[in-house]
Amino acid sequence: MVVQQYALFPHMRVADNVAFGLRAQKAARAEIPERVSEALRMTGMSEYARRYPRQLSGGQQQRVAIARALAIRPKVLLLDEPLSALDAQLRSGMLAELARLHRELPDVSILYVTHDQVEALTLADRIAVMKNARLVSCGTPQELYREPGNDFTATFLGGANLLPVVVRAHTDRGRVEVDCHGATLLVTAPEVVSPGAELLACIRPHHLTLTDHPTGNHLQGSVAEVQWRGATHRLYLDTGEKPLVADVAELRDPPRVGDTVTVTFAPQDVVLLPAKPGVHSPKSVLNGHGRTP
C-alpha cells in the first residue's frame, strides 16, 4: 500500500526502506539488491539510494514509497493519491511507469484512489466514481466519459456543460428535438424519450467549435473570459441563462471580453442526462434498460 503521507522509516536509508518488504517476506538475500535496484530505477530514484528520507523532497519521498510497494511485486497494490506531491513532469513520467507496470504484471490488481481525472482515465480499466461516500457511477473510462450517467460524473470526469432542455419531438435516425432556452437543438437519444421530459444536455467543452456561419446546432453567448492554455484557448461564454465553457484550438486572433460569438456542435456529441439529482443511470430514466455495475 502507498499512502499519502509516505510512511517511510526515518532511520533507514532509501535502499533499506525499499528492501523492507522483501526482508519481511524473507526473500532470498541475493535477490534483494536486484529487486531494490529495479524498483528505484523504475521510479527514478537510483541516485538517492544512500540518502535518508529527511534528505529528500516530498515528491522524492513519495517515489520511494511507490518503489517500496513495487519491490515486493504484490498481488494487490493499493495506491492512495500516490502522485499528489509530484510536479507535472514527474507525474506524467510516473503515470507512464505505472501503466507499463500494469501491462507487464497482469496478475497484479491495482486499486487507485485519485481526484485527478487524467490519472483515472490513463490508468483505469474500470472507474468507480464516489460522492459523499456513495458509489454514483461505475464503468470503463470510455463508458463514463462518453455516457456519464449523471451530472456529477459528467462534471467530475472531464468537465461538461450541462444545459436544461425540454424534449419536443422525435425525428428520423434516432434523434430528438429539444428546446434549450428558446433554441432548438437536435441530439441523439433513445427513442422512448417522452415529449415534455425535462433533461440535461451534456456537452464536453472540446466539442464546441467557434463559427461565423452557424448551421445545425448552435448557441450564442457573450465572452466573459478568455484563457490561453498553450495549444488551446478556453472561452467562458455568458448565454444569459447558463454559462458555457468552450475549449478551442489556439486562436491567432481570439475574441475579446464582451464580444458575441457563436458555437456549434454535432448531435452525436450531446448526451442526455436526468435532470433530477441522485439518479445514477440515464438508461433507467430514458429507456428503462439500466444495468447494475
Closest by alpha carbon to 203, among 162, 248, 142? Answer: 162
Residue 264 pLDDT level (bands cut at 50, 70, 90): very high
pLDDT at 211: 92
Cβ contact 195:205 at 8 Å: no
The kind and range of the H/E element at 286 are helix 282-286
Instruction: Please check the confidence at residue 285 and state whether its pLDDT lies above 80.
Output: no
List, in sequence order, every residue forming a beta bridge with 199; answer none if it has no partner. Answer: 165, 274
Cβ contact 226:254 at 8 Å: yes
High-pLDDT (> 90) share of the chain, %: 58
pLDDT at 91: 82
Residue 175 pLDDT level (bands cut at 50, 70, 90): confident
Mean pLDDT of the chain: 87
Identify the residue with better confidence: 188 or 132. 132
State the pairing for strand pair 218-228/260-264: antiparallel
pLDDT at 191: 63
CB atoms within 10 A of CB 288: 9
pLDDT in tens, 2-28: 887 788 999 999 999 999 999 999 999
Instruction: Please check the confidence at residue 111 and state whether its pLDDT lies above 90.
Output: yes
Residue 190 pLDDT level (bands cut at 50, 70, 90): low
* Prediction pTM value: 0.79
Q: Quick one: three-class SS letters along 101-130?
A: HHHHCCCCEEEEECCCHHHHHHHCCCEEEE
Mean pLDDT in residue range 255-265: 95
Instruction: Please check the confidence at residue 101 and state whether its pLDDT lies above 80.
Output: no
pLDDT at 282: 39
Instruction: Please check the confidence at residue 277 and state whether its pLDDT lies above 70.
Output: no
High-pLDDT (> 70) share of the chain, %: 92
Identify the residue with better confidence: 118 or 14. 14
Identify the residue with better confidence: 283 or 77. 77
Residue 283 pLDDT level (bands cut at 50, 70, 90): very low
